[in-house]
Structure 1
Amino acid sequence: ANLVATIGPSGGEFVLLTNPDVVWGPGSIDALLEAAYRWPRAGTFGPLIRDPDGALYPSARHLPSLVRGGMHAVVGFVWKNNPWTKSYRQQHLEPSERPVGWLSGSCLLVRREVFDAVGGFDERFFLYMEDVDFCDRVGRAGWLNVYVPTSEILHDKGHSTGREPARNLRAHHDSTYIYLADRHPGWWQAPLRWTMRGALRVRARAAVRRSRRERARSARSGGKA
């Protein structure tokens, strides 16, 4: 669950959403607030995120299209450098302050008027895609989502999502399908939706079986299951 804080006078001009395991870099909150005043038409602001080993996490991304988002979800776990994932994550771009499709919900500064206007997060999404859905609705309401790499945090994604990869992958696929089906409801898109849903289910079942085999091997060898 995210921690929520309000910042500013009169009950808070901004809402700060952050995971409890986030480690803030010096001046990171101030950098987000300064960006908010530079971008009066922006509704959300997200920092640069690093993994515990110092690697840059791609937290500022394109919104997922039916093809790009679906292919990333289906093959991204086994084919890390596939073209759909690279395009989706914008990994070819150097960190710079700019509008993006969506920002990681592990740490997000939001104008309170924007948060209230779009209705916050959609509870249909579990563990994944709630930030994508939220930022998309912010954009549809006429606001920008701005990446602010001068603000930097450290975040252990594995700690936040737990240590059950099979369950997490299934949740990721379910949330991905909900998001894409919401945005692409047309009858002419139905065959692609059905194909994607079938592929996601097959991928999730395969991950569950693999996770069970790995746990069984670990138990037999005397390791922790």
Structure 2
Amino acid sequence: MNHPDISICIVNLNAREYLRNCLRSIPQAAQNLSSEVIVVDNSSTDGSAQMVREDFATIKLITNNQNLGYSRPMNQAMRAATGKYLIQLNPDTLPHPFAFDKLYQFMEANPSIGICSPKVLNRDGSLQLQCRRSAARPWDTITYFSGLSRLFPTSRTFAGYLMTYLPENQIAEVEAVSGSCMFIRRAVIEQIGYLDENFFAYQEDADYCYRARQAGWKIYYYPFAEVTHFGGQGGSRTEPYRAIMEWHRSYFLYYRKHLAREYFFLINWLMYLAMAGKLGFSLIKAWLSKEKIVGTPKP
């Protein structure tokens, strides 16, 4: 059996038109590669699954009868994938021409790299800063949420989380990348397994990158391949309060799983109190919002 060069894995919830455009863009993004596309639909109510069946007959579609979050459905897609590389891709993304070709060539030339992110752009063409970041240790989260990172964007001390001290067109080794588009070597999956399903949604990408680094793999940002990520479409937009709760729960799980052991217990308890305070603030802010819609909280 011949395996494709890449398997593109997408989890969708009520993002039909974004998903349609994303799927249409894939052939241009992988012009010189053999590929397969696997879409897992989380019981969308906007006709997403029917659209995939009717307009993209060659795509493998898996349908769930309820919203299973992100990690579990993505694992469904990854387990069904047969490619040499697996790409986790959000449905509200638009890969640019040759993006996957370029990432594939970069990974082939650098066998020590296990996970790579392209340059992820906002809809206005600016860099989506979360596509290259640190492991979100206490100091980095403090400087991020306090605004110090925005006051001193070129400082390694204060801008460590989003690494704004680095030129956006510089190839860089990083600690974590965004799951909006994550290019993964199959050998990584064979070594460390799939996403941790304790993370319903959010922070599963940071957790996976942390585990890959612990296993000896490098994580890289490669800016010469580009993907536009519209962000906040589908899942988190349709269930804003649940999105807030799940993000904060996931960061707590991530911190306790990987970072708490590095710090004195008082620092850990201060972090937990800060997380609880931020959760309360975010819920109040969402309740006061006119549209009652939130994007994905960061980091």
TM-score of the aligned structures, taking structure 1 as reference length: 0.81
Figure out how many residues of one structure are paired with residues of the other and give that number. Answer: 212
Tell me the alpha carbon deviations over residues 140-199 of structure 1, each in whole angstroms, 9 at most, x when there is no partner. Answer: 101111111111001111115522555434333222221111123449622211111112
Amino acid at match of 2:189: F
Q: CA deviation at 1:26?
A: 1.0
1:40 paired with 2:111, answer yes
1:189 paired with 2:293, answer no
Amino acid at match of 2:289: E
Specify the alignment match of 1:222 in structure 2: none
1:205 paired with 2:276, answer no
Judge which range, 115-124 or 166-175, deviates more: 166-175
Specify the alignment match of 2:10 in structure 1: 3
CA contact under 8 A between 2:149 and 2:158: conserved in structure 1? yes
Specify the alignment match of 1:67 in structure 2: 139
Specify the alignment match of 1:155 in structure 2: 229
Query: Counterpart of 1:91 in 2: which secondary structure?
Result: coil
Q: CA deviation at 1:105?
A: 0.8
Correspondent of 1:100 among 145, 152, 174: 174
Amino acid at match of 1:106: S
Shift in CA distance, 70/204, structure 1 to aligned 2, threshold 3 Å: same
Unmatched segments (≥5 aa) in structure 1: 220-225
1:90 paired with 2:159, answer no
Higher relative contact order (CA 8 A, sep 6+): 1
Runs of 4+, deviation exceeding 3 Å: 4-8, 69-72, 82-85, 164-170, 184-188
Amino acid at match of 1:211: A
Q: CA deviation at 1:213?
A: 2.7
Specify the alignment match of 1:179 in structure 2: 254
Amino acid at match of 1:31: K
> Aligned equivalents of 1:71 and 1:197: distance in 2?
16
Tell me the alpha carbon deviations over residues 65-107 of structure 1, each in whole angstroms, 9 at most, x when there is no partner. Answer: 23323654x546xx77266772210012112122111111111
Correspondent of 1:134 among 167, 192, 208: 208
Q: CA deviation at 1:48?
A: 0.2
1:53 paired with 2:60, answer no
Shift in CA distance, 53/165, structure 1 to aligned 2, threshold 3 Å: farther
Tell me the alpha carbon deviations over residues 97-140 of structure 1, each in whole angstroms, 9 at most, x when there is no partner. Answer: 22111111111111112112111211122332111110111111
Specify the alignment match of 2:100 in structure 1: 29
State the percentage of identical aligned residues: 26
Amino acid at match of 2:150: N
Unmatched segments (≥5 aa) in structure 2: 1-8, 12-25, 27-32, 36-81, 293-299
Q: CA deviation at 1:211?
A: 2.2
Amino acid at match of 1:206: F
> Aligned equivalents of 1:90 and 1:161: distance in 2?
28
CA contact under 8 A between 2:143 and 2:159: conserved in structure 1? no
> Aligned equivalents of 1:161 and 1:80: distance in 2?
29
> Aligned equivalents of 1:85 and 1:19: distance in 2?
30
Judge which range, 130-139 or 183-192, deviates more: 183-192
Amino acid at match of 2:280: R
TM-score of the aligned structures, taking structure 2 as reference length: 0.63
